[in-house]
Amino acid sequence: MGLADITSISPGIKHAEVLLTHSHWDHIGGAADFASVSVFDSPFEVERLKKGWRLEEMVGFSKEFFSAPFPADFFPEVFDIPGVNEFTTFKDQENIDLGNITVQVIHIPGHTPGSACFFIPELGYLFTGDTLYAGPEYLHLPESDWKQYFLSLLKIKELTVNKLKMIFPGHNGFTASQELLDRHILAGYGFIQPASIEQGIDDFGSNTKKYYGDFSLMIPR
């Protein structure tokens, strides 16, 4: 989020290699403080990371939404997320060798054009960003493609089959099981029916929201 200096956690963390799942404002805050930052090689992700986000662009940002107090030196009325000037890009199914483990990049367009998740096959760990979590999946944004999103879920399933042990989502919980992925796929292809459906409009436009208990899908109306 960039509300506080993440690099102050420990002396060496400033030199960590930061891999971004996508370039939305609530995922790149603080990225500019690190020495090494990478994002998927997609025009949307690259340009948005370079540009950063002005306060008026950050739809949904409000100090009333935060349960924890802001840092004493933080002023939400003038909050901007700076762009990152120097960074590298990665490609689909690129393997990042960390010695005893490998990070596999999986391109999963849908939420954004260059969304990516990171799979560590040696551990069975999958880091999904905003593509998979227990909550409302935002698929009605201007840069979203909800049909491509469901194809991306199948791609994740195919590339992690018999290896996936734990999901680390971007929101609404620290961990999740493979069941969350399976239920998203079943919902997306109509094999399970929503408990309820609502038609609405928000800051991103009109949408249809389908509720499935532990998650919901928001698609364009």
Instruction: Report the pLDDT value the prediction gives residue 54, as an integer from 0 to 100.
Output: 95
Instruction: Report the pLDDT value the prediction gives residue 61, as an integer from 0 to 100.
Output: 80
Provide, rounded to the nearest whole percent, the portion of the chain with pLDDT above 70: 100
Over residues 49-59, mean pLDDT: 94
Q: Identify whether residues 62 and 110 lie together within a single domain.
A: no
Which CATH number characterizes residue 138's domain? Answer: 3.60.15.10
> Is 189:197 a contact under the CB 8 Å cutoff?
no
Q: Identify whether residues 151 and 178 lie together within a single domain.
A: yes
Q: Identify whether residues 108 and 216 lie together within a single domain.
A: yes
- Give domain status of residue 42, yes or no: yes
Domain limits for position 213: 91-220
- Give domain status of residue 137, yes or no: yes
> How would you list the strands of the sheet with 216-220, edge to edge?
136-138, 216-220, 205-211, 196-202
Torsion angles phi and psi, residue 49, rounded to 5: -65, -40
Taking the C-alpha atoms of residue 194 and residue 2, their distance in angstroms, rounded to an integer, is 36
What's the pTM?
0.93
Torsion angles phi and psi, residue 39, rounded to 5: -145, 160
- Give domain status of residue 105, yes or no: yes
Q: Identify whether residues 215 and 114 lie together within a single domain.
A: yes
Give tens-digit pLDDT for 163-183.
999 999 999 999 999 999 999
Q: Which of 64, 88, 112 is the last residue of a domain?
A: 88
Give tens-digit pLDDT for 106-151.
999 999 999 999 999 999 999 999 999 999 999 999 999 999 999 9
Q: Identify whether residues 57 and 110 lie together within a single domain.
A: no
Query: Is pLDDT at 201 greater than 90 in this prediction?
Result: yes
